[in-house]
Amino acid sequence: MSINWFKYSSPQTFFPLAGKLALGFSVLALLACSVGLYLGFFVAPTDAQQGESYRIIFIHVPAAWMSMFLYVVMAFWAGLGLAFNTRLSGMMASAIAPTGALFTFIALWTGSFWGKPTWGTWWVWDARLTSELILLFLYFGFMALQAAIDDPRRADKAGAVLALVGVVNIPIIYFSVKWWNTLHQGASVSLTRSPSMAATMLTAMLIMTFGFWFYGIAAVLLRARCIMLERERLSDWAAEYAKGTA
Amino acid sequence: MKNIPGIPSLEAVDLQCTRGERTLFDGLGFTLRGGELLRISGANGSGKTSLLRIACGLLEPTRGEVRWAGENIRRLQEEFWRRLVYVGHANAIKDDLTAAENLHVACTLAGVRAQPARIGEALARLGLAGCENLPARVLSQGQRRRVALARLALSDAVPLWILDEPFAALDAAAVERVQDLITEHVSRGAAVILTTHLEARIAATLRIDLEAN
Amino acid sequence: MMAALRCVIYRDLLLAVRRGSDVLTVLLFFVIVVSLFPLGVGPDPTLLRTIAPGVIWVAALLASMLALNRMFASDHADGALEQMLLGATPLGMTVGAKVVAHWLVSGLPLVLISPVLALQFDFPRELLGVLVLSLVLGTPVLSLIGAIGAALTLGLRGAGALLSLLVLPLYVPVLIIGAGAAEAAASGLPGHAQLLLLGALLIFAGAFAPWAAAVALRISVE
């Protein structure tokens, strides 16, 4: 069976598909998150050391994973757009950035909530949290650059260069921050030393990760649809779509 | 005056240029061979500069390609640019450098060897004898344009000249000098593309009118 | 090709010398920022001695960033940049030459004046060598990474602030390792590891940043 990979590479054909996929993934996300949250907040046992407050990791860790994963995916789409000069790839990269930034922010915020009852401070210069903060700046930089450029083609390409430079730098940033952290902190006061995982905890965390992943896909696809409509608004198919839903 | 041996042709194939939301031109093509001059005309904003920049390789067309000796110029990169002189709207003149220094830098960057004597000659050819050691800041608009165009006097071996409004800000005498340079170059077997409002006495082999397109 | 690259460096240096003010502005900014810290945190000598490497490094970073706009902006405005894009030498090398010239004008003066500022903080004399060496290795990396940012934001409104946002996260590793070198030396450990890492970053950045900046320039000039 030969797959026509390029059938969906034009905004016109991808638009309706994106809509259907978004709907499907939204439902899946809702289900997964409900199950995951229920398991995490009601079923998983109380932690011996941290009591109930540890439960925030069921949101914190999946959000952190998604934030990093989405940056790599964004860089991938952006790089594809730069290499093959395809419009849709650039649109996908632009669509991913705000969702990625959102997950980064959630990771930071929930990390803060975890820190307060556990270590007494709202912010800890922990290696992972600090790296997440820098990741947030990288996302903001990408969005700000694209917002500052009027021409969408130049915006896509410039964003792609930035995203690729960023993705290469992320390991360097992470390791240098980790090194800085171990040098400056005597005892390893670390938010990342997660409690030993009971099976239910692990399951809950994995389900939440999938839930966030599905949410991410749905949100990105919906945003991509908006971007497609905006960029292609002078084309026939967009005009017809507008008339159809008017 | 040496002749340039048979130069490859510059081919534009099915060019489309969209700036912002406007499509400036579509389906545009031409073939320019040695010894030919292409003149592009059209009102302001019709896309003349964009077309020249596409022909240079500075701007990527939304569709189509430009070929030199059959190969896409964006793939050839330096190989093509070594055979090209582009004088755009902007003069690329630094105010803090003298006329001679500016010309020397322009030539060195383009890979053209330029001894001081030849630089002096080139500036004199454009009527700037005596201005070599003046900082560009004190030169008039017309004189600065002539410093930018003096490159042409040193580029007799370069097979393709692309000139955007070369006669802008020039007085009649200077226009004559520049027209002579261009005519000489074409008769050497080189190719020239230019845009101008002026009804030049240079016979254009090809004409593209962007408004008619 | 070497002639063209030498020409680019010579031209940029000549312009900086004839302008004059550029070098001084960056230098003065550096000195002022470093002097602000004792005013902000108090003159306690022990505290100042501890924060000296970090303060000098942050100030060098900010001063370096201030000068980045200059790298391509004036060439872009008068059309000289376009000519470089159409030059006979690969653009990556031309950008490399411009970064060298930029560092000589904006980075090297900072390095040269840093010992004086460190002494203001009563930083131990024996450790000055490590601090200066870390700056010698680190400030070119800042210029190289900054070149990418400068190329991407060429001609945009609000380019200065946007450039900072783009470039500062990428500067973080250089800052950590650079300041870490002198701090390690201050705690009695040799700062060799950090200096070697800085050297590695310099080679890595030197190999890749000019090409990334060249790609970004072509995108921005379109």
Neighbours of B, requiring at least 3 CB pairs below 8 Å, are A, C
Higher pLDDT, C208 or A184: C208
Mean per-residue pLDDT, A70-95 = 92
Supply the CATH number for residue B74's domain: 3.40.50.300
Considering CB atoms only, which of C176, C212, C216 is closest to A176? C176
Q: Is residue B32 part of a domain?
A: yes
- Give the number of other CB atoms < 10 A from CB of residue B179: 17
Whether A173 contacts chain C with CB within 8 A: yes
Q: Kindly state the helix (H) or strand (E) to which residue B85 belongs, with its residue range.
A: strand B84-87
Q: What percent of chain A has pLDDT over 70?
A: 88
pLDDT over threshold 90, residue A7? no
**B171 and B79, same structural domain?**
yes
> For chain B (length 213 residues), average pLDDT per consecutive 10?
70 87 86 89 84 92 90 90 92 91 92 87 90 90 92 90 90 90 90 82 78 58
Contact in structure between C49 and C121 (CB atoms under 8 Å): yes
Mean pLDDT of A53-77: 90
- For testing contact with chain B, the best of C1, C2, C8, C11 (most B CBs within 10 A): C11
Q: What's the pLDDT score for residue A54?
A: 76
Q: What are phi and psi of B77, to 5 degrees?
A: 50, -115
Q: Which residues face A51 on adjacent strands?
A: A47
In Å, how far from its chain's centre is CA C143? 4
Q: Cβ(C28)–Cβ(C62) under 8 Å?
A: no
Taking only the tens place, the pLDDT of each residue in A157-169 is 999 999 999 999 8
Tokens 């340039």 locate to B4
Question: Residue A140's Cα: distance from chain center in Å?
Answer: 13
Nearest to C166 among A141, A164, A168 (CB): A141
Residue of chain B with shortest Cα separation from C87:
B110
Instruction: Answer whether residue B122 is part of any domain.
Output: yes
Question: Mean pLDDT across chain A, nearest whole number?
Answer: 84
Q: Alpha-carbon distance B25 to B40, whole Å?
A: 13
Cα diameter, chain C: 57
Domain end, chosen from B157, B178, B195, is at: B157
- Does some domain include residue A167? yes
Chain A residue closest to C200 (CA)? A172
Domain count for chain B, please give it.
Answer: 2
Q: What are phi and psi of B171, to 5 degrees?
A: -85, 175
List all chains that touch chain C, counting a touch as 3 or more CB pairs closer than 8 Å. A, B
B positions 85-104 inside 8 Å of C (CB): 86, 88-97, 101, 104
- Which residues of chain A lie closer than 8 angstroms to B19, CB-CB? 151
End-to-end, the C-alpha distance of chain A in Å comes to 40
In angstroms, the separation between the Cα of residue B17 and the nearest Cα of chain A is 13
And the tokens for C153? 């934001």
Query: With a cut of 70, which residues of chain C have pLDDT below it?
Result: none
C-alpha C114/C-alpha C120 separation (Å) is 10
> A1-13 burial by CB neighbour count: b if 16+ within 10 A, else e?
eeeeeeeeeebee
Domain-located, residue A241: no
Chains with 3+ CB–CB pairs under 8 A to A are B, C
CB contact under 8 A, C216 and A161: yes
Q: Are residues B202 and B144 in the same domain?
A: no
Residues of A with CB below 8 A from C177's CB? 176, 179
A131: domain range?
37-46+54-236
Q: Are residues B68 and B9 in the same domain?
A: yes
Distance from CA of C162 to the nearest CA of A (A): 7
List C residues 155-174 in contact with A (Cβ-Cβ < 8 A): 156-159, 162, 165-166, 168-170, 172-173
pTM score, two decimals? 0.89
Q: Are residues B104 and B60 in the same domain?
A: no
ipTM: 0.90
DSSP string over A116-151: HHHHS-S----HHHHHHHHHHHHHHHHHHHHHH--S
CA distance A145 to chain C (A): 7
- Which residue range forms the structural domain that includes residue B31? 1-83+159-213
pLDDT tens, residue by residue, C152-186: 999 898 888 999 999 999 999 999 999 999 888 88
Residue B61 lies in a domain: yes
Least confident of A36-50, A76-90, A157-171, C101-115: A36-50
Cβ-based neighbour number of residue C209 at 10 Å: 25
A173/C172 CB distance under 8 A: yes
Rounded to a whole number of angstroms, the distance from the CA of A129 to the nearest CA of chain C is: 14
Q: Does C148 touch chain A (CB under 8 A)?
A: yes
Give the total number of structural domains in chain A: 1
Distance from CA of B20 to the nearest CA of A (A): 6
Banded pLDDT at A6 (limits 50, 70, 90): low
Are residues B20 and A150, on separate chains, in Cβ contact within 8 Å? yes
Domain of C15 in residue numbering reads as 2-221
Beta carbons of C152 and A165 less than 8 angstroms apart: no
A3 is a domain residue:
no
In a domain, B106, yes or no: yes
In a domain, A13, yes or no: no
Shortest Cα–Cα distance, C177 to chain A (Å): 7
- Examine residue A103 and state whether it is found in any structural domain, yes or no: yes
* Cβ contacts of A132 on chain C, cutoff 8 Å: none
pLDDT band of A185, cuts 50, 70, 90:
low
The Cα C210–Cα C91 span in angstroms is 8
Residues B170 and B152 in one domain: no
Instruction: State yes or no: pLDDT of A3 exceeds 60.
Output: no
Whether B88 is in a domain gets the answer no
Residue A199, amino acid: A
Indicate whether B184 and B108 sit together in one domain.
no
* Token reading at A70: 């989405």
Q: B5 and chain A: CB distance < 8 Å anywhere?
A: no
Whether the per-residue pLDDT at A193 is higher than 60: the answer is no
Q: Is the pLDDT of residue A188 over 70?
A: no
How distant is the Cα of C85 from the closest Cα of chain A, in angstroms? Answer: 17
Q: What is the pLDDT of residue A190?
A: 47
- The distance of C139 to chain B (nearest Cα, Å) reads 27
B155 to each of A125, A176, B80, B83, how far by Cα in Å? 61, 52, 15, 10
All residues at 6 or more sequence positions from B40 whose CB lies less than 8 Å from its CB, including other chains: B48, B51, B52, B193, B194, B195, B207, B208, B209, B210
In terms of domains, do B32 and B55 share one? Answer: yes
CA angle B120, B123, B126 (to 5 degrees): 150
Angle A223-A135-A196 (CA atoms, 0-180°, nearest 5)? 105
The reply to whether B176 and B194 lie within a common domain is yes
The whole-number pLDDT of residue A48 equals: 66
- Which of chain B's residues have a Cβ under 8 Å away from the Cβ of A151? 19-20
Instruction: Quote the pLDDT of residue C189.
Output: 82
**Same domain for B9 and B111?**
no
Contacting B with CB below 8 Å, chain C residues are 3-4, 7-8, 11, 14-15, 18-19, 78-80, 82-90, 94, 221-222
Q: Chain A partners of C173 at a C-beta cutoff of 8 Å? A: 169, 172-173, 175-177
Contact A176 C173 (CB under 8 A): yes
Candidate from A145, A175, A176 with C-beta closest to C166: A145
Residue A223 resides in a domain: yes
